[in-house]
Amino acid sequence: MREVASGLPRSDAVRSQDRILAAARQGFAAHGLDLPVREIARRAGVGPATVYRHFPSRPDLVHAVLAAHVAVCQADLRSVQDDPDPWRALSAVIHSFAEHQLTDGRLNEVLLGSHPAARAFGAERRAHARALERLVGRARQAGVLREGVDVRDVRAGLLAISSLGVLPAATARETVGRLVGVLLAGLARRPMPRDSLALDSLPLDSLPPGSRGQ
């Protein structure tokens, strides 16, 4: 927890910081990292000076927002690691990634790209990659994946989902949902009911704790 200039955080200072982080995350996710600090302050209901007291520079604020987003993504993976059903675990990760793309697309774009702010999260990206490899490996061992499918196919599908961030919000959910269905159908060894493949077939409130887009 960052300290305020006058000493240890007070309850009101903590609430102020939380509002700033929430506003910055929503703003950056929707409009990119160039959103002006004054606009973030307006959304948080504070003045720009308050933002700078908590986060002395824009890179400090960007790092804090990305760190919070990465923590949620890590929680997504941890929440399915112990699921005894390998297909359900892998499907949940793909659905969760798609939901994050719909709600936090610009943040994903930064973390998956070459933006300088992403460099601080190299270790987390590698850990995420290893966790995905384990999930795909479990699914292969369980015989639920199509012959020849490996983690590279799953990554290609996730990359395709992430590329849809340019779509208008009005059509993004339907298109992402269809792509999720195509990806899952292509991964599965056996034909699956169409309604079990759509994005809306696994609503957020049915995901394990920590798998919900925030």
CA distances from 197 to 41, 43, 67 (A): 40, 37, 31
Residue-level pLDDT at 10: 67
Pinpoint the alpha helices (H) of the chain: 11-31, 37-44, 48-54, 58-81, 86-112, 122-141, 151-162, 169-187
pLDDT of residue 191: 67
Determine the average pLDDT of the residues in 137-152: 95
Nearest to 94 by CA among 189, 191, 182: 182
Using a pLDDT cut of 70, give the percent of the chain over it. Answer: 83
Predicted pLDDT of residue 38: 95
- What pLDDT, on a 0 to 100 scale, did the predictor assign at position 112? 85
pLDDT tier, 51 (very low <50, low <70, confident <90, very high otherwise): very high
Per-residue pLDDT at 1: 41
The owner of tokens 């990359």 is 159
What mean pLDDT comes out for the span 4-19? 71
- Please provide the CATH number assigned to the domain covering 68-206: 1.10.357.10
Residue 61 — very low, low, confident or very high, per pLDDT cuts 50/70/90? very high
For the chain, which residues make up each domain, given as ranges? 1-56, 68-206
Region 58-86 average pLDDT: 92
Residue 119, judged by CB atoms within 10 A of its CB (0-12, 13-18, 19+), counts as exposed
Predicted local distance difference test score (pLDDT) of residue 200: 53
Distance CA 122, CA 180 (A): 26
CATH of span 1-56: 1.10.10.60
pLDDT in tens, 156-210: 999 999 888 667 777 888 899 899 999 999 999 976 655 545 555 443 333 333 3
For the stretch 78-125, pLDDT in tens is: 889 889 999 999 999 999 999 988 888 889 889 988 899 999 999 999
The answer, yes or no, to whether residue 36 has pLDDT greater than 90, is yes
